[in-house]
Amino acid sequence: MDSTKNIFFFSRGLGRGHAIPDAAIANDLIAGDPNLKITFFSYGLGCRTLTDLGFDVMDLELPDINPVWETFIKITQIMQTFRPDLVISHEEATVVPIARAFNLPCVFMTDWFLPPELVTMQAIKFADEVLFLDEPGYMDELPFLQGKIFYTGAVFRTLDTNSLDRDKSRRKHNFQKEEQIVLVAPSGATIHKDTTVSFIDLTIAAFDNLDFPAKRLVWVASDQNRNALMEKIQNRDNISIMDPHYDLPETIIASDLVITNGNRITIMECEALGVPSISISYGRNPIDDFRIARVRTNLPLRAKAVTPQLLGKIMMQTLSEPCLPRAKSIDAISRGRAAAVERLQFHLKRNTELR
C-alpha cells in the first residue's frame, strides 16, 4: 500500500506575504513526515517566490489580482483530476467550495474577515476548519464559522539565531556602529505607481531632517520602484538600495527604525523582533490599516496628513527614545507557525486514516 500522503497547497499569488509563511509551514510539515508530498499551486509574484524558495509550483498562470471565474475554472480542472489527502488554501477562497463539491477535505488559512454577506466569505463556510493566523479578538468571527475557527497566533517566516543577533547583522551589512539605520521596506502587494514617487519624496525629505551625525537610509527596492528611487538619490553615500530578500528579519534587527507604506506582516515582524516602526498608509488596504493600528511598537500615519517636517520630527523622536527589548527567543517567534503546523498535521492524520 502506498504510504505517500499528498497535500495540495493553494497559495495566493498577490505579493510575497502569503508565499513566505506558506513555505515555512510546508518545510515544517515535510520535516515532520518523510512520506509527505506537498504540491503548491500559485501565480504571479507568489509563484515566483515559492519557486525561489525551492518548491515545485504549478503555475496557475493568472495575474497577481486574479479574476474569480478564471481561477474557478483552473482550480476545478485540478480538483476533478486528482484526489489529495488534504487541501490547504491560504486566502484563495475559490478553492474551498470546489474542494467540498469534490468531497475533498479543505483547511482555509487567513488572518482577516470581511462582512459575512460577501461571496468570498460565503465561500469559506465550506472549509473543514479555518486557521486564523493571528490572535483572537482582532476580527469579529463570521456567524456561520462558529466552532470552526482555530487561532494559531501570528505566523512568520523561518528564522535562525543570526536573525536575532543585532551586532552580527550590522556587521554583515557593513553598517557602522554609530550609524542610525532607517530601513524602508515598502509592501510589494499594495504599492502603486501613483504613490511610489510620493512615498519616496516624503521619506527621503524626512530622513534629511534627521539631526544625527551618522545616519543611513536603507531602502529595499523592487524593480518597479528602483528607477524612481535612483533618480532621487543620485549616488548619495548615506542612502543604500537593497534588493528584496528572504532574510529580511536579519536586516530589520540590524536597524534602528523601520518605515513601510502599510504592510502588516512586516510591521508585526518588527514587533516580534523588538524594532520600532512607522507605517504610512495610502488607504490601499483597509485590512493592513486595521491590524497595524493595534501593533504596540508601530506608529500609524496617513500619507495625506504627513509632511516631511512632521515625519522627520516623529522619526527623530522615535530614534531618540530608549531602545525596545530585542527578541531573545526563536521559539517565541515561531510559536504561531508551530501551532498551525500541528493543526494541519491533525487534519492530515485524520483524513489519511479514513481513506
Instruction: Pull the grid cell for residue 165.
Output: 543577533
Share in percent of the chain as helix, strand, coil (round to 5) = 45, 20, 40
- Kindly write down the DSSP assignment for every residue of 311-340, as one continuous string: HHHHHHHHHHSPPPPPP--HHHHTHHHHHH
| pLDDT value, residue 189 | 47
| Number of C-beta neighbours around residue 15 at 10 A | 20
| pLDDT value, residue 283 | 86
Instruction: Pull the grid cell for residue 26.
Output: 510546508
Give me Rg for the CA atoms of the chain.
Answer: 21
| pLDDT value, residue 256 | 97
The yes-or-no verdict on residue 282 having pLDDT over 60 is yes
CA atoms of 47 and 38, how far apart (whole Å)? 14
The yes-or-no verdict on residue 117 having pLDDT over 90 is yes
What angle (nearest 5°) sits at the alpha carbon of residue 242, between those of residues 237 and 248?
Answer: 130
Q: Give 5-158+334-354's CATH code, choosing from 3.40.50.2000, 3.40.50.300, 3.40.1260.10, 3.40.50.920.
A: 3.40.50.2000
Longest dimension (CA), the chain: 70
Instruction: Pull the grid cell for residue 77.
Output: 480542472
Residues contacting 323, CB < 8 A, separation 6+: 274
Instruction: Pull the grid cell for residue 114.
Output: 470581511
The yes-or-no verdict on residue 194 having pLDDT over 70 is no
Q: What percent of the chain has pLDDT over 90?
A: 77
pLDDT (average), residues 270-295: 92
The yes-or-no verdict on residue 111 having pLDDT over 50 is yes
What angle (nearest 5°) sits at the alpha carbon of residue 253, between those of residues 322 and 183?
Answer: 90
Taking the complete model, does pTM exceed 0.95, yes or no? no
- Kindly write down the DSSP assignment for every residue of 255-313, as one continuous string: -SEEEESS-HHHHHHHHHHT--EEEEE-SS-HHHHHHHTT-TTEEEEEGGG--HHHHHH
**Strand locations in 112-168 (E):** 129-132, 149-151
Q: Which of 40-49, 153-162, 191-200, 207-216 has the lowest mean pLDDT?
A: 191-200
Q: Give 161-328's CATH code, choosing from 3.20.20.10, 1.10.150.120, 3.40.50.2000, 3.40.190.10.
A: 3.40.50.2000
pLDDT (average), residues 327-337: 91
**For the segment 340-355, what is each residue's pLDDT rounded down to a tens digit?**
999 999 999 998 876 6
| DSSP state for residue 334 in the 8-state scheme | T
Q: Which of 105-119, 171-185, 230-244, 311-325 has the lowest mean pLDDT?
A: 230-244
For residues 16 and 45, is the Cβ–Cβ distance under 8 A?
yes
| pLDDT value, residue 195 | 65
> CATH 3.40.50.2000 occupies which residues in the chain?
5-158+334-354, 161-328
Q: Which amino acid is at 274?
A: G
| pLDDT value, residue 190 | 43
Q: At 74, is the secondary structure helix, strand, or coil?
A: helix
Q: Chain centroid to CA 333: how far?
A: 14
The yes-or-no verdict on residue 192 having pLDDT over 50 is no
CA dihedral 160, 19, 350, 335 (to 10 degrees): 30
Q: At 98, is the secondary structure helix, strand, or coil?
A: helix
**For the segment 214-268, what is each residue's pLDDT rounded down to a tens digit?**
999 999 987 777 888 888 888 789 999 999 888 999 999 999 999 998 889 999 9
pLDDT (average), residues 281-294: 90
pLDDT (average), residues 44-55: 95
Average pLDDT of every residue of the chain: 92
pLDDT (average), residues 118-135: 97
Instruction: Pull the grid cell for residue 34.
Output: 518523510
The yes-or-no verdict on residue 139 having pLDDT over 80 is yes
Exposed, middle or buried, 236 (CB in 10 Å: 0-12/13-18/19+)?
Answer: exposed
| pLDDT value, residue 221 | 87
| pLDDT value, residue 235 | 78
**Would you place residue 2 in the very low, low, confident or very high pLDDT band (cuts 50, 70, 90)?**
low
